[in-house]
Amino acid sequence: MVFNGNDLIELGYRSAKWFKEAIAHINENNLDEKQITEYLEQFKQPDLIPLHENPKDFIINIKAEHESENDNVEKVINTMKVLMKTPTLEKGAIMPDACPTGPEGQIPVGGVVVAKNAIHPGFHSADICCSVMLTDFGKADPKEVLDAAHSITHFGYGGRDRGSQMPMSQELMDAFRENDFLNDEKLISIARSHMGTQGDGNHFLFVGTSKNTGNTMLVTHHGSRAPGAALYDKGMKVANRFRQEISPETLRENAWIPYETEEGKSYWEALQLIRTWTKENHTSIHDAVLNKMEIEKQDRYWNEHNFVFKDGDLFYHAKGATPLDDKFLPDITGPRLIPLNMSEPVLIVQGKTNERNLGFAPHGAGRNFSRTQHKKSLAHKTIEEVFAEETKGLDIRFFTNEIDISELPTAYKSAKNVRAQIEEYGLCEVLDEVMPYGCIMAGDVQKNAPWKKKKKFRKA
């Protein structure tokens, strides 16, 4: 009789790529039952890891302060209940700025989860190491700092033109080439062209003055751009190969790479290199502004709020949450930063791990509604009217010269409520505030996108 895949399944094996090779070998060599058993030992599969029967406990540091927030808070809690059934997870928390990011079971923005010996690429998402950097410009004129920054920074799709690229360090390029996930010349080329860029969406360059000292501060907010997105894509593919083999019940977006594997170690190293690239990216922009103004920096600090942090065999995944505990940051040089919206101060905070925060604080103000919903709610006004009302007294600029009302203050949760809940739940302590002067954001990158112009040209 010809041995086939159904026979392997009856023997207790799960469908796998090696089936074809094994079936051919068994039939070509006419193996008997004992020989088949001995031969198949090399393909022994691990026991499947089931979901937790009940969600692991998570701490809720959020509540609806207004009727409009009820739906958001309910969705955040419900998605956490599904998420916390993921087999690797041991505990979690949600922050006052939390909002859902996708289907039920996907980690929300403002979510922190702790996994044992596992890295979940879906928990940091494509915007790996989204982070904020502050440089103290002393008594420099805020307008002059914003003008200088505007002439230097770069928002929108893609990287810089070859003639205006900011250099990526040779040491970092060499490190990329030594890592299995990052040793990709196309990825390295993208990393070089994206150095000194900030992307779009909620990323910004903010200028304000310290409430404590009156000094002018420059704050940038962006992540690892296309290099990070490329690493995320590779990580998700590897994680899902493991998921299919060891825990097919786990949701695809919650797949993980076991840390103790070769792939796990390599992915962890790749995350650290992408972190280094992102910090270098922020630094390039800040230093270029200082150099243009011929100013020496007074102080500087930086922290990510979208990353994975290791403590022994526990991996803290923060999807939009600010790490407070020094153990999470190997290069800590100062307090942490929590931006709210363009019309509100950037909070400078510190804090310690406690029973409610797991060592984290909020990362911003979050959203109650999607960008599309927010735009619909303002459809009775012109874009110019909305802009004038919400940016009064501020120097707000959009790099594309196209206003994006989905990034104006009312698009976000009440900063007042977020701050009140930070205090109520004892999440961290505010040390200083950077009072807003102005900021630059990408603007509506879709309005005059190159591919839209091409479409119009074709129709003509």
Nearest residue to 298 (alpha-carbon basis) of 411, 453, 125, 145? 145
One domain, residues 38 and 138: no
Q: CA angle 355-116-58, nearest 5°?
A: 35
342 is in an annotated binding site: yes
Query: What does the block give as tokens for 224?
Result: 């690892």
**In the predicted structure, residue 69 carries a pLDDT above the cut 90:** no
Summarize the confidence of residues 24-36 as an average pLDDT: 94
Please tell me the predicted confidence (pLDDT) of residue 25. 96
Q: Do 443 and 302 share a structural domain?
A: yes
Spatial contact of 38 and 23, defined as CB atoms under 8 Å apart: no
Task: For residue 340, say whether it is annotated as part of any ligand binding site.
Answer: yes
Closest CA to 355 of 31, 88, 57, 131: 57
Alpha-carbon gap, residue 2 to 166, rounded angstroms? 63
pLDDT digits (tens, 9 = 90+) for 329-376: 989 889 999 999 999 999 999 999 999 999 999 999 888 778 888 888
Is there a domain that residue 79 lies in? no
Give 391's pLDDT tier (boundaries 50, 70, 90): very high
The whole-chain average pLDDT of the chain stands at: 94
Residue 38 domain-assigned (yes or no): yes
**Domain contains 89:** no
Consult the annotation and say whether 48 binds a ligand: no
The reply, when asked if residue 221 is annotated as ligand binding, is yes
Residue 413 to residue 420: CA distance in whole angstroms: 12
* Burial per residue of 277-291, b for 16 or more beta-carbon CB atoms within 10 angstroms, e otherwise: bbbbbbbbbbebbbe
Three-class SS of residue 155?
Answer: coil
pLDDT of residue 453: 53
> Which stretches within 128-202 are classed as H helix?
142-152, 170-177, 185-194
pLDDT at 365: 86
**25 and 151, same domain (yes or no):** no
Would the pLDDT of 448 be above 70? no
In a domain, 227, yes or no: yes
Say whether both 176 and 29 belong to one domain: no
Average pLDDT of the segment spanning 100-124: 96
Say if residue 457's pLDDT is above 70.
no
Residues 27 and 127 placed together within one structural domain of the fold: no
Q: Which of 25-39, 87-101, 102-116, 442-456 is the least confident region?
A: 442-456
The whole-model pTM stands at 0.90
Residue 459 pLDDT greater than 60, yes or no: no
Tell me how far apart the alpha carbons of residues 181 and 71 are, in angstroms, rounded to a whole number: 39
Q: Please indicate, yes or no, if residue 145 is contained in any of the structural domains.
A: yes
Q: Which residue has the higher pLDDT, 47 or 268?
A: 268
339 known member of a binding site: yes
Q: Is 195 annotated as a binding residue?
A: no
What is the predicted pLDDT for the residue at 240?
96
Q: Are residues 178 and 323 in the same domain?
A: yes
Residue 108 lies in a domain: no
CATH code of the domain covering residue 165: 3.90.1860.10
User: Which sign, positive or negative, has the C-alpha torsion 216, 221, 225, 230?
Assistant: positive
- Counting Cβ atoms within 10 Å, is residue 42 exposed (0-12), middle (13-18) or buried (19+)? exposed
In 3D space, the residue among 308, 298, 374, 366 whose CA is nearest the CA of residue 334 turns out to be 298
Give the confidence band of 460 by pLDDT, cuts at 50, 70, 90.
Answer: very low
Burial class (CB in 10 A: 0-12, 13-18, 19+), 6: exposed
Region 380-401: mean pLDDT is 94
- Residue 25 assigned as binding residue: no
Give the whole-angstrom CA distance, residue 13 versus residue 37. 12
* 365 known ligand binder: yes
Residue 411, domain member (yes or no) = yes
Q: How confident is the model at residue 273 (pLDDT cuts 50, 70, 90)?
A: very high
Q: Are residues 445 and 344 in the same domain?
A: yes
d(C-alpha 199, C-alpha 156), whole Å? 5
In a domain, 71, yes or no: no
Q: Would you tell me how many other CB atoms lie within 10 Å of the CB of residue 382?
A: 11
Cβ-count burial 97-108 (b if 16+ within 10 Å, e if not): bbbbbeeebbbb
User: Which of residues 335 and 378 earns the better pLDDT score?
Assistant: 335
Q: Are residues 30 and 151 in the same domain?
A: no
Residue 233 shares a structural domain with residue 370: yes
> Looking at residues 176-180, what average pLDDT do you find?
98
Tell me which residue has tokens 């770069």.
154
Apex 242 CA angle, 247 and 229, nearest 5 = 120
Shared-domain flag, residues 448 and 316: yes
Q: Which domain holds residue 33?
A: 5-43
Give the pLDDT band of residue 447 (cuts 50, 70, 90).
confident
Query: Annotated catalytic sites, by residue?
Result: 363
Q: How many domains does the chain have?
A: 2
Please check if 317 is assigned to a binding site: no
